[in-house]
Structure 1
Amino acid sequence: GEKPADGDNLSCQGQNRALQLPKVLIKKFNRPDDVYVPSLNMGKETTHARMLQTVTPLAIQYNLKINSKYAAKDFEKITQEILKKRGTTLMVWEHSAIHDLAKALGVQHAPKWQDEDFDSIWVIQFLKGKASLTIDHEQLTPSTVCGF
């Protein structure tokens, strides 16, 4: 998997995916205007660290700010902010909360995100005020070996 059995960080495979992801995202969507990850839990566990680690290579390469002020399930506040924005917003989110986040953004029939799915990209577009979801794929097969 992309996360170790124990711990809050990416596995080597997850890190390798994160390093390959900027090229995929830029080709498909261009440079995002805004980037969001859930706020880090700074207690005993930092379970949202993987989302930040996933988007960091993109943020470094394109000098992007990463907004991490919202909790993973603070759907009301984050959707209020997102719905005011124009352009492309990238949200790297906890897979167990993506379904509910999509619903909060107005997607009518969002499927559940599968636990072992590290390849999907959910694209939510707003046309005439109505949210629609399409599911794209990275099509990456990152190595499980750390190259560092």
Structure 2
Amino acid sequence: MHTTLLSLFAFTALSTARPNVYFIRHGEKPQHGGIGLSDDGLERAECIRDIFGSHSGYDIGYIMAQKPKKSGKRNRPYETVRPLAEDLDIKVDISCNRDDPKCVKKRIKKYKGEGNILICWEHHRMTDLVEALGNEDAPEYPDDRFDLIWTISYPYNDITEIVSEKCPGLD
């Protein structure tokens, strides 16, 4: 009986565990404008594949990127995480528009799968996403950085860690 209660408790604790959420900026864009990623951005997408891949400790089970426009604009976040998603056999959720932090919050709260959540977004809007989760003092993502990983742990009201991706040749 005692073992059964412990097993039930362990199962309940595991089933109610909440995932970590990792926010990253999309890869570098072409120097003179344009759609898509630059050569450095494509290199970063490959680095992201290694950083968050199946052999990493990040344990990604769900990936989100802002919804691209039909014109091809705003596709950098999706292009940045696409190689990783293919490796992990995860469909990238692109259902939320760039300017809709409530949609992102709703997706995070609804997620019941295994693993953690990776969100790739335009850096000027990342603060809005973090604030929607409950962090009233969310920092601005620096304009001159592409390499930061923001970690937010449950109850999602604070950034618990900021580290560099440390992509060789880029960071």
Q: Provide TM-score, normalisation by structure 2.
A: 0.74
Q: 2:153 aligns with which of 89, 104, 125?
A: 125
1:75-131 Cα offsets, whole Å, 9 max, x none, are 1122122123244111101111001110001123211011121110111111xx352
Q: Secondary structure at the match of 1:131?
A: coil
Aligned match for 1:29, one of 53, 58, 81: 58
Q: What amino acid is the match of 1:103?
A: E
Alpha carbons of 1:116 and 1:132: their partners in 2 closer, same or farther (altered >3 Å)?
Answer: same
Query: Residue 99 of structure 1 corresponds to which residue in structure 2?
Result: 127
Aligned equivalents of 1:75, 1:95: Cα separation in 2: 13
- List, as ranges, runs of 4+ consecutive aligned residues in structure 1 with deviation greater than 3 Å: none
Which residues of structure 1 form unaligned runs of 5+?
144-148
Distance in 1 (CA, whole Å) between partners of 2:45 and 2:169 is: 9
How far apart in 2 are the matches of 1:130 and 1:71? 21
SS at structure 2 position matched to 1:136: strand
Residue 67 of structure 2 corresponds to which residue in structure 1? 39
Q: Paired residue for 2:163, among 133, 136, 142?
A: 136
Alpha carbons 1:83, 1:105 under 8 Å: kept: no
Mean Cα deviation higher: 13-22 or 107-116: 107-116
Q: Which residue of 2 aligns with 1:83?
A: 109
Cα-Cα RMSD: 1.8
Contact persistence 1:72–1:94 (CA under 8 A): yes
Residue identity in the other structure for 2:47: Q
- The letter for the 1-side match of 2:48 is L
Q: Which residue of 2 aligns with 1:108?
A: 136
C-alpha distance in 2 between matches for 1:130 and 1:112: 17
Q: Tell me which of 17, 32, 38 is aligned to 2:44.
A: 17
- Is 2:44–2:167's contact at 8 Å kept on the other side of the alignment? yes
Match of 1:54 among 80, 85, 93: 80
* C-alpha separation in 2, matches of 1:15 and 1:130: 30
State the aligned residue count: 138
The separation in 2 between residues aligned to 1:88 and 1:70, in whole angstroms, is 18
The residue type equivalent to 1:121 in the other structure is: I
Provide the secondary structure at the position in 1 that maps to 2:80.
helix
TM-score (structure 1 length as normaliser)? 0.85
Once residues 80 and 130 of structure 1 are traced to their aligned partners in structure 2, the CA distance between those partners, rounded to angstroms, is 13
